[in-house]
Homo-oligomer: A and B are copies of this chain.
Amino acid sequence: MTTDAPETRFALAKGATREIARLTSTQKADALGAIADALEAHADRIIAANAEDLERGRANGIGDSLLDRLALTTERVSALADATREVAALPDPVGQVVRGERMANGIALEQVRVPFGVVGAIYEARPNVTVDIAALALRSGNAVVLRGGSAALSSNMALVEIMRQALESVGVTPEAIQTVDEFGREGANALMRGRGFIDVLVPRGSAGLIETVVTSSTVPVIETGAGNVHVVLDASAPEEWARDISVNSKTHRVSVCNSAETILVVREAAERLIPQVARALQDAGVTIHGDETVRSLANDVVPATEEDWETEYLSLDVAMKVVETLDEAIDHIARYSTHHTETIVTADVREAERFLAEVDSAAVYVNASTRFTDGGEYGFGAEVGISTQKLHARGPMGLPELTSTKWIGRGSGQIRP
């Protein structure tokens, strides 16, 4: 690859779309298999490139957790290869018939899944995302233009070159995988205004990154958003479920978007539930930020402020608030939620159905942990991301969400009378 301009790379990706869209499911699986093998065969080269990034990162004073996300080891490269093989084994969405009918005049009409064309991705300094997004895009028949964080530049360049060579080795055009990493911020800006070249843009990373892409892009974006996730303990909530679902939703894995951040307790159940739910959370290492009533019913509770209702902690912290009624809980969610996932614990079928009907989030549960909002749990096999927008895809996205559709009509001379 030569240093030219981002738009040149976009045109190369677009030029590859017809070939990639035409590949059979077997050809695409073989191409991904070749990529997986090449990653393992060139693990040393990848790790050497990664070492440059790590060294530069340390010199620039990058924090330990970022360095850890950036680091590649032999095991991590193997895990990347395995993940690529898993994507290769997923059902190919391209060509699936979504709807179909024989029109009254005899035309056989079908709505079939087709690739988007070129998928753009903007993400942070995590080299695994480079391989992950490329594999998902190729499996669904798309070309891809990648823009990773500059802190992972050397790693990404090595990964992209190895993936491109692997494609070539099985007779697939390497132009299907492009990177604009060398162009720095200008690469990201070009992606966001790449109308006519980039069919859909997927930002992955922090809330700030996603907000920038969503508001700046003139290309359609699939927003994978933050999760300010709520658990509601209703007046009739069974104690065991209230405790277990609160603890599991909060502590099963704290750094992910489907973990709970606020627990709302309906007043009638406050005395019955808060002492034991609070204790179970605290036993699991959680710091509770509570309102006055919560603090009167449990020990060691930090006073909650307005900011706590808005915060996605992604840590062993949870906000807890007493609401007068289920209505107030639903209002609170409407106001503060990022509309990712919410759950209610209740024994009352009327409250359960109201909650399901009135809470406007991507996933809404009754008597289940919020941690179930996940492509793997839903049986999608791969995790493209969890969409918090309402257009095109909402909630966990599988490979079909990386496709569009087109209408195909087979006629025999029909004209409109």
Enumerate chain A interface residues (CB-CB to B < 8 A).
Answer: 17-18, 21-22, 101, 103, 107, 109, 111, 114, 116-117, 195, 199-200, 214-215, 218, 220, 222, 238, 240-241, 244-245, 247-249, 252, 334, 352, 356-358, 360-369, 371-373, 377-379, 389-392, 394-396, 404-416
9 cross-chain pairs, A with B, having the tightest CB-CB distances, nearest first: A368-B411, A248-B415, A390-B404, A392-B392, A220-B391, A365-B409, A363-B407, A241-B413, A371-B416
- Chain B residues near A412 (CB-CB < 8 A): 367
**How many copies of this chain does the complex contain?**
2
Instruction: Flag if B406 contacts A367 (CB, 8 Å).
Output: no
Residue in B248, B358, B406 whose CB lies within 8 Å of A395? B406
A356 to chain B, nearest CB (A): 5
Residues of B within 8 A of A358 (CB): 18, 21-22
Selected from B101, B241, B372, B413, the residue in CB contact (under 8 A) with A367 is B413
Specify which of B214, B356, B410 is in contact with A366 (CB 8 Å cutoff).
B410
Q: A116-B390, A371-B415 are in contact. Are A378 and B109 (CB under 8 A)?
A: yes
Known: A107-B372, A372-B107. A363 touches B406 (CB 8 A): yes
11 pairs, A vs B, C-beta closer than 8 Å: A195-B214, A240-B413, A244-B415, A247-B415, A252-B415, A367-B414, A368-B415, A369-B415, A371-B415, A373-B407, A391-B392
Residues of B within 8 A of A199 (CB): 390
A17 vs B394: C-alpha distance in the bound complex, in angstroms?
A: 18
- When the two chains form their complex, are residues B409 and A364 in contact, meaning their CB atoms are under 8 A apart? yes
Whether A404 touches B394, Cβ cut-off 8 Å, given contacts A103-B377, A218-B215, A409-B365, is yes
B415 touches A245 (CB 8 A): yes
Given the known interface contacts A22-B357, A414-B367, the answer about A372 and B248 at a Cβ–Cβ threshold of 8 Å is no
A116 surroundings in chain B (CB, below 8 A): 390
Chain B residue contacts of A247, Cβ below 8 A: 415
A348 CB to closest chain B CB (Å) equals 13
Among candidates B215, B220, B372, residue contacting A409 with C-beta atoms closer than 8 Å: B372
* Chain B: CB-nearest residue to A101: B379
Contact: B409 with A368, CB < 8 Å?
yes
